[in-house]
Amino acid sequence: MISAIAAMSTGPITTGVPIQPSAGGESCFQGEKNMFPKILTPFTVVFLLTAVATPGLADGNSHHDHGSHSHDQPAAFVGLVEDYLSIQTALAGDSIEGVDTHAAAIARSARELAKDSDLKVAGVGSKNTEALLKILPGLAAAADDLSEARDIKAARAAFGPLSTAMIAYRDLVTGDTPNVAYCPMVKQNWLQNGKTIANPYMGSSMLHCGSIVSN
């Protein structure tokens, strides 16, 4: 292992570096050579050895990854997010399969939460109860609209208001997960796990258009 790392210091290091999005908003990636010195410092060697020995560290998937903290969130919010993310994934894949079912589930859950006068199950705390009570009717209505969409265009149009309401709820509950992404083409936000953009508004035409704006 050490010999392999030492060999890395004998030639130029090639690394991927992000560049500015194109006019269409697509994220880009290019290889850039000689971004770092050829000689590895002792600290770098130690870090590389640690990365190899620590599962998940080398590929960036440490246990601190945002979007993996559902066990810290209230069950009501987690349930809504699971249905929401199923919709987001379907739309990003240019599909509406199951979208109506998941949207209807969100509408039911939102109305059930609104009946809980102290909103303990919602997990927002007493200081945010009034704020959530203002969000839930719009959340349920947006989910109803989406459940009635019969084509991808209508579904994506209805997904915007649903996302706005879900992000508002997320901010009251956790403020950091799932990630909030933004598409400059349609000027809409959405929630998603991970940092690899999967744009539900553009689908395969511009799947990676957008950026993470809050995590």
| 10-residue stretch averages of pLDDT, the chain, 215 residues long | 40 35 39 36 39 38 38 80 98 98 97 78 81 94 98 98 96 86 97 97 98 88
Token digits for 61? 């998937």
Instruction: Give residue 177's pLDDT.
Output: 87
- Note if the bond before 55 is cis, omega within 30 degrees: no
Instruction: Give residue 16's pLDDT.
Output: 36
What amino acid is encoded at 49 in this protein? L
CA distance 156 to 148: 12
- 99-105 long-range contacts, Cβ below 8 Å, gap at least 24? 99/146, 99/147, 99/149, 99/155, 100/146, 100/147, 100/148, 100/149, 101/147, 103/143, 103/144, 103/146, 103/147, 103/149, 103/158, 103/162, 104/143, 104/144, 104/147, 105/79
Instruction: Give residue 73's pLDDT.
Output: 74
Instruction: Give residue 35's pLDDT.
Output: 32
Instruction: Give residue 118's pLDDT.
Output: 58
Q: Which domains does the chain have, with CATH numbers?
A: 2-53 (no CATH), 70-214 (1.20.120)
Element counts in the chain: helices (H) and strands (E): 6, 5
CA distance 104 to 74: 20
Instruction: Give residue 117's pLDDT.
Output: 59
Instruction: Give residue 29's pLDDT.
Output: 35
